[in-house]
Amino acid sequence: MPRDDRRPRQAAVVRAQRALRRKRKPGPTSSPVTRTPRRGSHRLRPVIDLQDVHKTYQMGSVSVPALRGVSLRVERGEYVAIMGASGSGKTTLMNILGCLDTPTSGIYRLNGLDVRGIDEDTLCDLRNRFIGFVFQSFNLIPRTRAVANVELPLSYGGVPRKLRRNRALEAMRAVGLGDRIDHAPAELSGGQQQRVAVARALVTNPAMILADEPTGNLDTHSGAEVLRLFERLSAAGRTIILITHEEEVAAHARRVIRVRDGQIVDDSRRPVETS
Ligand code: ADP
Ligand code: MG
């Protein structure tokens, strides 16, 4: 299926670059946990807005439809679980939400920005600025202290060294690992490694945290630890998208979206408990 590219590519790049300039750096001193996402003019703009998104993989002469008309809005501060069986399209959806891949057709607006036709460099900048990724396998750099791992996204963003270190320390404290900054990943438990990965995702103050099976490699206890951390971040106003195939994990989210054969088949919200 041809891409729906009506607007010239150059215009998309210019739009994206302008929007990125407008969104330069939050205040460096507020805490990643207590800091509430910016208010004001962005308030009514959803973080995620997908309209009739299709993704079809081409395997030689065979077309594999992975997403078949997904429309979805996620507002700032929502905690959403995306569930589905293996092969239902979760990873494809996450790759699109995370700007790691683009739809075959349909529209994706990230934080109000239409990502169609944006070049790879600008997309990379968008990812770095708006999205904090947490993966099943932690993806920390081995033999590198935790705090340096957390600093990494800020180095790509060109943040000065001292500020980088301070914000990384603050993020480490926010995930409860202020006393583990000098430990290498191998010197940490799985749960602690994943919390370092969450600190790394938080350090840029992203518009959303995108976590793909974040507890998939953890024992029950460490998994619960990571889920508690997500709950705290959510309570502090963070936007979290959690991809999982486990009901118990999804039960922590306020909204559960179910995907089957590349389509959303259920989208339900759970009221906030008052006890
Ligand atoms: P899930 O993460 O829910 O297991 P995926 O998004 O990985 O599902 O896959 C959805 C469908 O798309 C599956 O049928 C899968 O085989 C197919 N698919 C995923 N990635 C590719 C790819 N790179 N090339 C071809 N087909 C793919
Ligand atoms: Mg998958």
| Domains of the chain listed by start with CATH number | 76-102+119-269 (3.40.50.300)
Cβ of residue 64 lying under 6 Å from some atom of ligand 1: yes
- Higher-pLDDT residue of 20 and 120 is 120
φ, ψ for residue 74, nearest 5 deg:
-125, 125
Q: How does pLDDT run across 184-239, given as a tens digit for each residue?
A: 999 999 999 999 999 999 999 998 999 999 999 999 999 999 999 999 999 999 99
**SS3 state of residue 262:** coil
Lowest mean pLDDT among 21-25, 74-78, 199-203, 204-208: 21-25
- What average pLDDT score do residues 47-55 get? 98
88 contact partners, CB below 8 Å, separation of at least 6? 259, 260, 261, 262
Contact call for residues 223 and 249 (beta carbons, < 8 A): yes
Q: Helix count (H) and strand count (E) of the chain?
A: 8, 10
- Higher-pLDDT residue of 78 and 272 is 78
Lowest mean pLDDT among 28-37, 55-64, 142-151, 173-182: 28-37
**SS3 state of residue 68:** strand
Q: What is residue 14's predicted lDDT score, i.e. its pLDDT?
A: 73
- Higher-pLDDT residue of 41 and 204 is 204
* pLDDT exceeds cutoff 70 at 7: no
Q: What is residue 273's predicted lDDT score, i.e. its pLDDT?
A: 65
* pLDDT exceeds cutoff 50 at 30: no
Cβ of residue 92 lying under 6 Å from some atom of ligand 1: yes
Give which of 84, 80, 63, 49 is closest to 263, Cα–Cα. 84
CA of 67 to the centre of ligand 1 (A): 9
Contact call for residues 95 and 115 (beta carbons, < 8 A): no
Mutate to test the pocket of ligand 1, among 61, 70, 92 (most ligand atoms within 8 A of CB): 92
188 contact partners, CB below 8 Å, separation of at least 6? 146, 180, 196
Helices (H), the chain: 9-22, 90-97, 120-130, 146-156, 161-174, 190-202, 220-235, 247-250
Q: What is residue 34's predicted lDDT score, i.e. its pLDDT?
A: 47
Of all atoms in ligand 1, which is nearest to the CA of residue 262?
10
